[in-house]
Amino acid sequence: MKTIGFIGLGIMGKPMARNLLKAGHKLVVYDIIPAPVKELVEAGAAEGASSADVAGRSEIVITMLPNSPHVKEAVLGPGGVLEGAKSGLILVDMSSIAPLASQQVEKACAAKGVKMLDAPVSGGEPKAIEGTLSIMVGGDKDVFDSVAEVLGAMGKSVVHTGLIGSGNTTKLANQIVVALNIIAMSEALVLASKAGVDPKVVYQAIRGGLAGSTVLDAKAPLVFQRKFNPGFRIELHLKDLLNAMDTAHETGTSLPFTGLATEVLSHMKSAGKGGLDHGGLVQYFEALAGIEVK
C-alpha cells in the first residue's frame, strides 16, 4: 500500500480520500478548511500542516481543487507541494483545470524531479462516494501505470488519454457533452409541461430510446423532485466551459453551442444561482416559459 497525500477535501475530494482509506492506503490530508480534515483524521488519516508538509511525507500527492489558480498556488506557491517534495514524488492533479495550466505546472514539477499526471474526473458527488468515477489521465504512460491501482480505488473507468494536458482536454469535451445534454433535457421537459403533457411520462417514454443518456437518468428525477442541492455546482461547470472556450480560442476551434451554453450558465451565476446543482439549469428555461417542471 502507498502513502498518499491528499490536498483538497471538498464535495468531491473528501469521499475520494475516504475511498483511498478504505482501500488500505496510508493518507496524509490537508485543506484550508479544518472540518473535513478532522473528519478524515477521525477515519484514520494523518493531518498535514501544509501542502509542503503533505508532499514531504508522501510517495504520491493528489490535488483536488477548484481551478487553475488554486492548483498553481497549492503546488508552486509558498508552502506548496514543490517546496516539500523529494525527487521522484508523483503528483496527480485530479482538479478540472485548463490544459495549458496543467502543462505549465508539469514543467515546473519536472524541473524539481517531480512526475505529474493530470487526471480530472467525471461523475459528481454520488460516484465520488461510490468510488465509480470516470478518470481521464494525461501524462507519461509509465507513471500512469504506476498509479493506476490507486486511481482504481476512486474510479470505475481509468483511461490514459495521452500526454500531459490531455486529461483536462478530455474533461472539457466531457463537460461540453454534459452541459448540452442538461440544456436539451431542460428544453424538452419545459416544452412537455407547457404543452400539457406530463414530463415524467415523457421522460419514461424517451429514456429507453436514442434520447436516453446517463445525464437524463441522473438529472430528470432530481428536476421532478425539485432537488437542486449540488452534486456539481453551476459555477464550477461554468468554469469548465470557460476553460473550454479559452482552449477553443487557443486552437482555432469554433464551439458555437458551447458558447450559448456558457451564456446560460453565466446568467444563472449572475442571478445568484451558481451554487445550485447544474440540473438547476432547467430554471433558466422555466423562467422563459413561465412554467415549472414537476
Active-site residues: which are they? Answer: 171
d(CA 24, CA 261): 41
Residue 94 · residue 123 · CB < 8 Å: no
Pull the grid cell for residue 291: 412554467
d(CA 197, CA 277): 25
Residue 109 · residue 116 · CB < 8 Å: yes
Closest CA to 32 of 11, 16, 10, 17: 10
- Cell 500500500 maps to which residue? 1
Instruction: Report which secondary-structure segment, H or E, holds 243.
Output: helix 234-251
How many of the other CB atoms lie within 10 Å of CB of 8?
27
Pull the grid cell for residue 95: 482538479
The values of phi and psi at residue 122, to 5°, are -135, 145
The amino acid at residue 27 is L
Residue 263 · residue 237 · CB < 8 Å: no
